Amino acid sequence: MRVVFFGTPEFAVPSLRALLDHRSEVVGVVTQPDRAQGRSRSTLVPPPVKRTAIDAGIPVLQPERPVGDLFSASLRHLKPDLGVVVAYGHILRPEILSVPPLGMINVHASLLPRYRGAAPIPWAILNGEQITGVSIMRMEAGLDSGPVLQRASSPIAPTETGGSLSDRLAELGAKTLVDVLTRLAKADLPGEAQDHSAATYAPKIDRETTRLSFSAPAVSAARRVRAFDPAPGAWAMHHDAPVKLFGARVVSGNGAPGEVLAAGRRALVIACRDEAIEVLEVQPAGKTRITVDAWVRGRGVAVGDRFT
């Protein structure tokens, strides 16, 4: 089976590697363009999927947007039987979805129809879910609304971060993808229609979503810190500058919301509406991620300070 792969971030790499180890022939990879990074924005960094494809000698297409006659012709030139999409970052139009005769399937990091959309992993943690998983679905014009070919579940641990959950679901998605491809090679899989009335959504994460509110319950603040660890990072203002917080858990404590109750060698304790959160690492504005101990020794924070 000739497969064209659409994907961009590190989350998609295990699925691409699984395809390379599978009997399928990966005839091309479509990913986003290289992006400028660094303070001077002078260094172009390729997407993780591109690096994996080049190492494997696979042709790479990098359109700014997957539309237009030129892109369609380039895709048809690859003569794929099937398309596999994993965290590509763009919605594919019907004329692109119809290029492979067997259509396209998508690896989505939730148990559909729950958490359709761009950011299912952080939203599952934010909402206090205890279980999530991956779904392999047939793609159609709607947002993550196609028939589901297979689901695989995974628990969300009480201390789970967005990063650790993403890594685990990436591997689970790759394994489940191989299972689906093996079944597709033997027979057509119509899939199970989703119950659209049960759908929930996980929209893109913006800066305001990552901002911490210490007027909220401590459990909510701790979830927000974990959901956006390691990136983009949950943040609050301290001395008129943003600081990202990491490694939070709920602890006992009383004080005005945002008040620093303890700033010791190991942890920072900040009061919330009811209890408090203990934080292990921080990233002050313009700095790298450091331990609370290093921040305290550098006189960056002290008991009685206030986060807002």
Q: Which of 163, 198, 233 is the last residue of a domain?
A: 198
For 86-135, how does the pLDDT look when each residue is reduced to its tens digit (9 = 90+)?
Answer: 999 999 999 999 999 999 999 999 999 999 999 999 999 999 999 999 99
Residues 15 and 140 both lie in one domain:
yes
Residues 154 and 27 both lie in one domain:
yes
For 64-77, how does the pLDDT look when each residue is reduced to its tens digit (9 = 90+)?
Answer: 999 999 999 999 99
298 burial via Cβ count (<10 Å: 0-12, 13-18, 19+): exposed
Residue 211: inside a domain: no
Residues 158 and 117 both lie in one domain:
yes
* Residue 162, C-beta contacts closer than 8 angstroms, at least 6 positions apart: 121, 122, 125, 226, 227, 228, 229, 230, 231
Residues 176 and 233 both lie in one domain:
no
Residue 236: inside a domain: yes
Longest CA–CA span in the chain (Å) reads 66
- Nearest 10 degrees: Cα torsion 260, 210, 171, 102: 170
Positive or negative, the CA dihedral 55, 58, 63, 65 is: negative
Residues 106 and 78 both lie in one domain:
yes
Q: Which of 198, 231, 248 is the last residue of a domain?
A: 198
Confidence band of 23 (pLDDT split at 50, 70, 90): confident
Q: Please count the other Cβ atoms lying within 10 Å of the Cβ belonging to residue 155.
A: 13
Q: Report the mean per-residue pLDDT for the chain.
A: 95
Tokens of 182: 């093996």
* pTM of the predicted protein model: 0.94
- Nearest 10 degrees: Cα torsion 287, 288, 293, 294: -60
Residues 179 and 233 both lie in one domain:
no
Residue 67: inside a domain: yes
Residue 223, phi then psi, degrees to nearest 5 = -60, -40
Residues 237 and 292 both lie in one domain:
yes
Q: Which amino acid is at 43?
A: T
Residues 186 and 229 both lie in one domain:
no
For residue 43, is it left (φ>0), alpha (ψ between -120 and 50) or beta?
Answer: beta
Report pLDDT for 75. 97
For 191-229, how does the pLDDT look when each residue is reduced to its tens digit (9 = 90+)?
Answer: 999 999 999 999 999 999 999 999 999 999 999 999 999
Residues 136 and 257 both lie in one domain:
no
The answer, yes or no, to whether residue 171 has pLDDT greater than 90, is: yes
Distances (CA, A) of 185 to 150, 157, 200: 15, 35, 32
Residue 213: inside a domain: no
Which domain CATH number covers 250?
Answer: 3.10.25.10
Residue 208: inside a domain: no
Q: How many domains does the chain have?
A: 2
Q: Which of 199, 112, 195 is nearest to 150 (CA)?
A: 112
Residue 81: inside a domain: yes
Residue 125: inside a domain: yes
Domain that holds residue 30: 2-198
Which domain CATH number covers 34?
Answer: 3.40.50.170
Of the chain, the percentage scoring pLDDT greater than 70 comes to: 100
Q: What is the mean pLDDT of residues 283-304?
A: 95
Q: Name the one residue in this structure whose structure tokens are 């600081």.
A: 243
The answer, yes or no, to whether residue 29 has pLDDT greater than 90, is: yes
Residues 183 and 227 both lie in one domain:
no
Residues 190 and 46 both lie in one domain:
yes
Residues 159 and 114 both lie in one domain:
yes
Residue 302: inside a domain: no
Report pLDDT for 188. 75
